[in-house]
Amino acid sequence: MSNHNPISPSDSLRNVRYEIRGRLARRAHELQRQGYEIISLNIGNPGLFGFRTPETMRLAMVENLPEAEGYCHQKGIFPAREAVVMQQQARGVTGVSAEEVFIGNGVSELIDLVLRALLNDADEVLVPSPDYPLWTAAVNLNRGKAVHYACRPENGFLPDPAEVEALVTRRTRALVVINPNNPTGAVYPRATLEALARIAERHQLVLYSDEIYDQMVYDGAEFVPMATLVRDTLCATLSGLSKVYRACGYRVGWAAFSGRTQGAGDYLSALELLSSLRLCANVPAQWAVQTALGGYQSIRELITPGGRLYESRRAILETVNASKYLRLAPPGGAMYGFIGVDRQALPQFDDQQFALELLEQKHVLVAPGVSFNVPYRNHFRVTTLPDAATLRIVFARIEEQLASIAARAEVAGDAKVVNAGARFK
């Protein structure tokens, strides 16, 4: 009989969650292996739904393969960094050179690196709720404390700047803004962004602006780059090829630093050190950056009426509006709907239980709202990537499942009334 002790994971993982690829996703994989066809709406992965990376980007990679067999500079190849600079300049951002641009293996790696270079024990970072959960996880992994500021459904998932500022303490080091937002699709108005920029400047917070969905906006919504509004503190703009350019598997993202960079030399040197320790980002895919940013922006065909993303979003809005149980603040951007369930119609609704039942009984995988660090349990996220016809099928199944939950609740309620009457007699 073995006396070996079990191998315990690091305590640093105690407060780390990433349910988007967690228990429900593993169960979906098991069902697929058993032969069931699962419609997976839990992850914004364009390639899974037939979207292709623009051909010009693929050709740029192939043509430059001979230049991609060795390590490159730890910050990334110069043409890719210079393309990011030119994009920033075209948007009105000043004071950025290739030296202030870091290329990473997707924005995900850069979120980890920029926080690791900044945080000490118990340092606080203001993170939206709901958030893309990697931000909260990365803060916790890097010895910090994620302090969530509310972006409430009743306010169109926009933050209240006064509430954000009230959360600032002497331990606060940074403010995270996700715009257009994942999971809600909210596109922040200029006034809101200006107020958040002033908060960061007043308290000398590093402002991390996650703009991976920057060109994915609908019905006249205006995307305002945060870096155009920040002057008197450090601003990091994070973006990449994964979403707008449908190239998730290329794993290419960037962080461009602007604003008051002259006082951030030690921080940027620390970030370069961390970048050096992982040698460099994926080199072949970096050769697609210049072509992507400087070439034809095919995303525009997808986000206007008749375009696939636009029509899929329309299908979700129409099916939710027709639902007896669902509510939705129309997403102005990104590729998600963060859908609420009416508490009056289903007072006992639980997002995790619902997601499990929907998977087991209807073979549809969604992400429970609690996965995105919210205190309420009546939301779930779907991606708008499937075509409109598929989404109408999905929401018919969702409505059926919600009706089943309502019927069970009614039966249980009647049983309680009968039992109460029996006790009264």
**How far is 419 from 147, CA to CA, in rounded Å?**
45
| pLDDT over threshold 90, residue 4 | no
% of the chain at pLDDT higher than 90: 88
| Cβ neighbours of residue 262 closer than 8 Å, sequence gap 6 or more | none
Tell me the average pLDDT across 209-228.
Answer: 97
Question: What are the helix and strand counts (H, E) for the chain?
Answer: 14, 13
| Cβ neighbours of residue 110 closer than 8 Å, sequence gap 6 or more | 102, 104, 238, 253, 254, 255
Tell me the average pLDDT across 138-157.
Answer: 96
Average pLDDT over all residues of the chain: 93
Tell me the average pLDDT across 116-143.
Answer: 96
Q: Is 223 exposed, middle or buried (0-12, 13-18, 19+ CB in 10 A)?
A: middle
Contact 290, 60 (CB under 8 A): yes
pLDDT band at 376 (very low <50, low <70, confident <90, very high): very high
pTM attached to this predicted model? 0.92
Tell me the average pLDDT across 357-361.
Answer: 95
pLDDT band at 9 (very low <50, low <70, confident <90, very high): confident
Which long-range CB contacts under 8 A does 394-397 form with residues at least 24 apart? 394/39, 394/41, 394/364, 395/315, 395/316, 395/319, 395/320, 395/323, 396/319, 397/358, 397/362, 397/363, 397/364
Tell me the average pLDDT across 122-142.
Answer: 96
Which tokens go with 412? Answer: 């249980």
pLDDT band at 15 (very low <50, low <70, confident <90, very high): confident
**How far is 417 from 425, CA to CA, in rounded Å?**
12
Q: Is 157 exposed, middle or buried (0-12, 13-18, 19+ CB in 10 A)?
A: buried
pLDDT at residue 409, rounded to an integer: 80
33-to-1, 136, 201, 425 alpha-carbon distances in Å: 35, 32, 52, 54
Contact 320, 337 (CB under 8 A): yes
Which tokens go with 20? Answer: 């988007």
The DSSP 8-state label assigned to residue 250 in this structure reads: G
Pick the residue with more confidence: 91 or 417? Answer: 91
- Domains belonging to the chain, first-starting first, are 11-51+301-419 (3.90.1150.10), 55-294 (3.40.640.10)
**pLDDT per position as a tens digit, 239-285:** 999 999 999 999 999 999 999 999 899 999 999 999 999 999 999 99
Name the residue with tokens 């509430």.
Answer: 163
pLDDT band at 413 (very low <50, low <70, confident <90, very high): low
334 φ/ψ angles, rounded to the nearest 5 degrees: 65, -160
| pLDDT over threshold 50, residue 417 | no
pLDDT at residue 82, rounded to an integer: 98
**pLDDT per position as a tens digit, 44-68:** 899 999 999 999 999 999 999 999 9
Exposed e or buried b per residue across 248-281, where buried means at least 16 C-beta atoms within 10 angstroms of its C-beta: bebbbbbbbbbbbbeebeebbebbbebbeeeebb
| pLDDT over threshold 70, residue 420 | no
| pLDDT over threshold 50, residue 418 | no
pLDDT at residue 309, rounded to an integer: 97
- Break the chain down into helix, strand, coil percent, rounded to 5: 45, 15, 40
**pLDDT per position as a tens digit, 307-354:** 999 999 999 999 999 999 999 999 999 999 999 999 999 998 999 999
pLDDT at residue 410, rounded to an integer: 78
Tell me the average pLDDT across 401-414.
Answer: 82
pLDDT band at 415 (very low <50, low <70, confident <90, very high): very low
